[in-house]
Amino acid sequence: MSDIIKLLPDAVANQIAAGEVVQRPASAVKELLENAIDAGADTISLVIKDAGKALIQVIDNGFGMSETDARLSFERHATSKITAAADLFNINTKGFRGEALASIAAIAQVELKTRVAENDLGTQILIEGSQVKEQEVCSCAKGTSFSIKNLFFNVPARRNFLKSNPVEIKHIIEEFQRVAMVHADISFGMYNNGNEVFNLKKGSFRQRIVGVFGEKINQKLVPVEENTDIVSIKGFVSKPEFAKKTRGEQYFFVNDRFIKNSYLNHAIQNAFDQLLSKDQFPSYFLKLTIDPAKIDINIHPTKTEIKFEDERSIYAIIRTAVKQALGKHNITPSLDFDQESTFNVPLMRSTDVIKAPTIKVNKDYNPFETKPASPSFQKLDNRNLTKQSSEQWESLYADFEKDTTEIITHQKENEEQQVISSAWDEEDSSTFVNAGTQALIQLHAKYILAHLKSGSLIIDQERAHTRILFEKYIQNFANGQGMTQQLLFPETIDFTSADAELMNELQSEIKQLGFDFEKMGKSSFVVSGVPVELKEQNVKKIIEGLLEQFKMNESELKLKKHENLAISMARSASIKSGKKLTEEEMKALVDELFSCEMPYSLPNGKPTTITLNLEDLNQQFDY
């Protein structure tokens, strides 16, 4: 048999490599921004059209490339950043593989214009699917401009695989923010379809965070700083009172590179310890500086993981540094409130000895020392209560005793009046009758207790309402339009730049939910109508909640756009735990819940109701 193995042509090899390096427009954005930083630029602009599907352009004022380098930069494994294997252990640049440009040029139409300072004329190269189409001398500014047009034009399967524009632009903004945030000494601009999304001036890290997330974040930041032999830490955590319901703004940078690390994330969560409940997340922006020899970044180019030589020590140092910072904040909360955004004075100087945290909680306190816990109570609410703080335990316990008496009296009354005509049976849910004939009781401003012949049904008010709204919004999308209630006084809402862009991109869908709004200025919108069911609620909070949920669901659950918007909006607009409900409100809620297609759980499978079987109760009481 003759030899059959052949070396793949470069264009094919590059296209295969591109599959790994460039997964979506945002990956090309990241590579180009990083190249511009490596080129020593202090001004970088990113221009996007059609969520990067039509154009991604990065313009920098860095050192540019000679004619030969310009041509060579598109070759695979062509890099100016390392020369020997040993360099891999001392990487101070973002790039080092020499793969990005070769990959991008294999799957797009690329135009490069570049000029070095010492030449009057620069070089222009057009390259398409790895084929150089044109190379000529051109006049252009010092520095480099890469335009990537029609990404994946020759890989239709990939192009079709791209998500909708709002999703792709969200990814692009995320990459942009990650890069821009940690390089406060570089001016960054971002433009999407002609709109200016970001215009970030040089400044301190704090000013950059404010530039990216808006002025309001300034007062939420507590400075963190620590210098040890192993690692230096500098940055900010959010004050506990500003913790979020979703993991939004959590940023670790190691040697100016954005990374994800759940172990170190845990160190921070742990430092907040008793200050947050388990469904709250702190924001943080921490820059770690470590000897490059002690980390391994030689992993997959698109991944954000990193390997540390001494992860356990870093964990301990981060945890202590954050605890100390929070301790300082608690003792002297006014200090950094007064801090101007122009100053970045750390509240704490690093010390050689790491001090113990200063948060005081009496961990030995046991509220049940004198009172044995009621077993049925534990069963009732086990999941939520076991981790509650000691004070809450006690008050809930007291409440529960009160509530239980109420329940019993209600039950008696109901039985005497014989108003219950039918039993709700776990196997046959259709036999649930209209709640109108039953007394409904609210427990802990969180659950609704409905009496059944065979026991009791406990409804989680927030989840129940979320289910109801979710189905309503899915219907809206199916029918084309939700009902709008015009506001008497239209409300102007200022968004962060990223959220304003997301509003732009999701405009027609958010209108389908029932909102009516117009863009006004760079990142403000005037909302003149809201979905009818929202009534007089806080519109700003609901829209912000909607966007936040949407972003989180998109990255963590990979939901489809409509489904995501429907659940995000439902979560944001639902009646929350803690709200006292009137008898009518409870009745309406229960009625609506049981007219849902899937009343018993949320789309993520979490239950909206649980049953307390009478037999089980009897058993618990040892009858």
Report the interface residues with ligand ADP, using CB under 6 A.
Answer: 31, 35-36, 39, 60, 62, 64-65, 73, 78-81, 95-102, 144
Residue 95 in contact with Mg ion, rule: CB under 5 A: yes
Whether 108 contacts 53, CB under 8 Å: no
Binding partner of residue 212 among Mg ion, ligand ADP, none, CB cut-off 5 to 8 Å per kind: none
Binding partner of residue 98 among ligand ADP, Mg ion, none, CB cut-off 5 to 8 Å per kind: ligand ADP
Distance CA 460, CA 600 (A): 10
Whether 22 contacts 103, CB under 8 Å: yes
Nearest distance from residue 21's CB to ligand ADP, in Å?
A: 9
Closest of 323, 215, 202, 307 to residue 268, by C-alpha: 323
- Cβ-proximal residues to 605 (8 Å cutoff; 6+ apart), any chain: none
Binding partner of residue 97 among Mg ion, ligand ADP, none, CB cut-off 5 to 8 Å per kind: ligand ADP
Q: Which is nearer to Mg ion, 100 or 148 (CB)?
A: 100
Q: Which is nearer to ligand ADP, 35 or 549 (CB)?
A: 35
Q: Which is nearer to ligand ADP, 69 or 491 (CB)?
A: 69
Stretch that binds Mg ion, among 87-95, 235-243, 333-341, 458-466 (CB under 5 A): 87-95
Alpha helices in 235-344 (DSSP H): 262-272, 311-331, 333-337
Nearest distance from residue 179's CB to ligand ADP, in Å?
A: 13
Nearest distance from residue 34's CB to Mg ion, in Å?
A: 5
Binding partner of residue 315 among Mg ion, ligand ADP, none, CB cut-off 5 to 8 Å per kind: none
Binding partner of residue 78 among Mg ion, ligand ADP, none, CB cut-off 5 to 8 Å per kind: ligand ADP
Binding partner of residue 192 among Mg ion, ligand ADP, none, CB cut-off 5 to 8 Å per kind: none
Binding-residue total with Mg ion (CB under 5 A): 3
Binding partner of residue 111 among Mg ion, ligand ADP, none, CB cut-off 5 to 8 Å per kind: none
What separation in angstroms does the CA of 232 have from each of 24, 49, 387? 34, 39, 34
Q: Which is nearer to ligand ADP, 31 or 381 (CB)?
A: 31
Q: Which is nearer to ligand ADP, 31 or 501 (CB)?
A: 31
Instruction: Name the burial class of residue 556, with classes exposed (0-12), middle (13-18) and buried (19+) by CB atoms within 10 angstroms of its CB.
Output: exposed
Q: Which is nearer to ligand ADP, 61 or 442 (CB)?
A: 61
Binding partner of residue 506 among ligand ADP, Mg ion, none, CB cut-off 5 to 8 Å per kind: none
283 alpha carbon, distance to own chain's centre: 10
Q: Which is nearer to ligand ADP, 10 or 310 (CB)?
A: 10
Residue 482 in contact with Mg ion, rule: CB under 5 A: no
Whether 110 contacts 127, CB under 8 Å: yes
Distance CA 530, CA 540 (A): 11
* φ/ψ bin of 263: left (φ > 0), alpha (ψ from -120 to 50), beta (otherwise): alpha
SS (HEC) of 191-212: EECCEEEEEECCCCHHHHHHHH
The DSSP result for 284-311, as a single string, is EEEEEE--GGGEE--S-TT----EETTH
Nearest distance from residue 570's CB to ligand ADP, in Å?
A: 43
Distance CA 271, CA 313 (A): 15
In single-letter form, the type of residue at position 245 comes to K
Q: Which is nearer to ligand ADP, 35 or 553 (CB)?
A: 35
Q: Which is nearer to ligand ADP, 78 or 275 (CB)?
A: 78
Binding partner of residue 226 among Mg ion, ligand ADP, none, CB cut-off 5 to 8 Å per kind: none
Stretch that binds Mg ion, among 96-104, 132-140, 275-283, 429-437 (CB under 5 A): 96-104
Q: Which is nearer to ligand ADP, 259 or 380 (CB)?
A: 259
Residue 21 in contact with Mg ion, rule: CB under 5 A: no
* Cα atoms in the Cβ-side hemisphere of radius 13 Å centred on 321: 33
Closest of 292, 276, 278 to residue 239, by C-alpha: 276
Nearest distance from residue 94's CB to ligand ADP, in Å?
A: 7
Binding partner of residue 67 among Mg ion, ligand ADP, none, CB cut-off 5 to 8 Å per kind: none
Structure-block tokens of residue 563 = 């489904």
Distance CA 513, CA 621 (A): 49
Strands 187-192 and 43-49: parallel
Out of 65, 100, 125, 547, point to the residue binding Mg ion (CB under 5 A): 100
Closest of 378, 369, 384 to residue 397, by C-alpha: 378
Binding partner of residue 96 among ligand ADP, Mg ion, none, CB cut-off 5 to 8 Å per kind: ligand ADP
Within 22-51, the residues that bind Mg ion by CB under 5 A are: 35
Stretch that binds Mg ion, among 42-50, 94-102, 133-141, 309-317 (CB under 5 A): 94-102
Structure-block tokens of residue 103 = 């990959």
Binding partner of residue 65 among Mg ion, ligand ADP, none, CB cut-off 5 to 8 Å per kind: ligand ADP
Nearest distance from residue 181's CB to ligand ADP, in Å?
A: 20
Closest of 258, 262, 266, 263 to residue 302, by C-alpha: 258
Q: Which is nearer to ligand ADP, 55 or 464 (CB)?
A: 55
Nearest distance from residue 104's CB to ligand ADP, in Å?
A: 8
Whether 231 contacts 321, CB under 8 Å: no
Q: Which is nearer to ligand ADP, 38 or 381 (CB)?
A: 38
Distance CA 617, CA 364 (A): 32
Nearest distance from residue 147's CB to ligand ADP, in Å?
A: 12
Q: Which is nearer to Mg ion, 100 or 186 (CB)?
A: 100
Binding partner of residue 14 among Mg ion, ligand ADP, none, CB cut-off 5 to 8 Å per kind: none
Q: Which single residue brings its beta carbon nearest to ligand ADP?
A: 95
Contacts 24+ apart (CB under 8 A), 514-521: 514/476, 514/481, 514/482, 514/483, 514/484, 514/485, 515/484, 515/543, 516/484, 516/486, 520/492
Binding site for Mg ion (CB under 5 A): 35, 95, 100
